[in-house]
Amino acid sequence: MEITPKIQELLQRLEEKYQMEGQQMETYLEGLVYNNYLDYWDYIHLEALINLQHPRTDIPDENIFIIYHQITELYFKLSLLEIDQILKHPKLDAVYFTAKLKRLIAYFTNLTHSFEIMVNGMAPEQFLKFRLSLLPASGFQSVQYRMIEIASTDMINLVEHPFRSECAVKNSSEQYEFIYWKKGATDAASGKKTLTLRRFEEKYKEQLTSLAKHHEGHNLYAKFKSLSADEQSNPALLAALKEYDGLVNVHWPNVHLKSAGRYLAKPGKAIAATGGTNWESYLPPKIQRRVFFPSIWDEQELENWGK
């Protein structure tokens, strides 16, 4: 076998790499002789992935419900990875910010369009049966959804709408106590914190509290505001910020609400949700009025938010 200059160069680089860690290159090269080839199914853990559904009933559409939630959580994870890249960029500018926002937009556009699977994809009579075995679990307990919100904006913009002006002078830990989902998740019947919320807080309270601290002044909105005035007025960046804000806070919540309406709305009295909220008055974006980047919208747009 001919040892070409390219092979020699690669060996040299390997030698340097292993030397730096006090390792013997020969031993690693010999390891390669015994190493198995990598296969697709192992690389993406296909067996684990397709066996991650454990329905609580034998009702066939429950699988669709579980898989679609899992798909959504993977998109949430992609979104968090993208946000992380923006927040960690050492020299953030409008061009990079816009490019990453476009990926976030693609993820939430896919989620918004594919929600049709939930709106029309399951037989209501099947859904209304298997949902009873899920209590008190609810998508409300999606921690990644909460993480996306906390990493996207200042805490004040997540405070329940009617308390926002009074909370403006509070610090972000105090504001966190007024976050819309803590305030909104009161049991439709008793008016107390829902069991779904209490269990969510038991599991994630510490993690979310420290995340809220971590993202104070270090979130998408704060990063935008720290750009130069010139960069902040970049039309492509402003358009991308608006699209992302609209998708996460209006369009996705609206298709989600549509699916709640399809399965849970009843003339007279709505069917109780598994998370126990008064969902008809809790979920609509025009009531929640969450806006990640308020300063880029005009008064009229904010006034008509979610309508």
Min dist. Cβ of residue 256 to ligand HEM (A): 6
Q: Which is nearer to ligand HEM, 209 or 254 (CB)?
A: 254
Min dist. Cβ of residue 278 to ligand HEM (A): 8
- Residues binding ligand HEM (CB under 6 A): 68-69, 72, 118, 138-140, 142, 145, 181, 256, 259-260, 263-264, 273-277, 279, 282-283
Min dist. Cβ of residue 220 to ligand HEM (A): 19
Q: Which is nearer to ligand HEM, 25 or 80 (CB)?
A: 80
Min dist. Cβ of residue 156 to ligand HEM (A): 17
Min dist. Cβ of residue 147 to ligand HEM (A): 11
Report the distance separating Cα 17 and Cα 24, nearest Å.
Answer: 10
- DSSP symbols for 239-265: HHHHHHHHIIIIIHHHHHHHHHHHHH-
Q: Please, what is the angle between helix 61-88 and helix 94-114, to 10°?
A: 170
Tokens for 66, please give them.
Answer: 């579980």
Which H or E run includes 197?
A: helix 195-214
Residues of 159-188 as b/e, b for ≥16 C-beta within 10 angstroms?
bbbebbeebeebebeebbebbbbbbbbbbb
Closest CA to 152 of 244, 71, 235: 244
Q: Which is nearer to ligand HEM, 8 or 120 (CB)?
A: 120
Q: Which is nearer to ligand HEM, 14 or 71 (CB)?
A: 71
Q: Which is nearer to ligand HEM, 138 or 157 (CB)?
A: 138
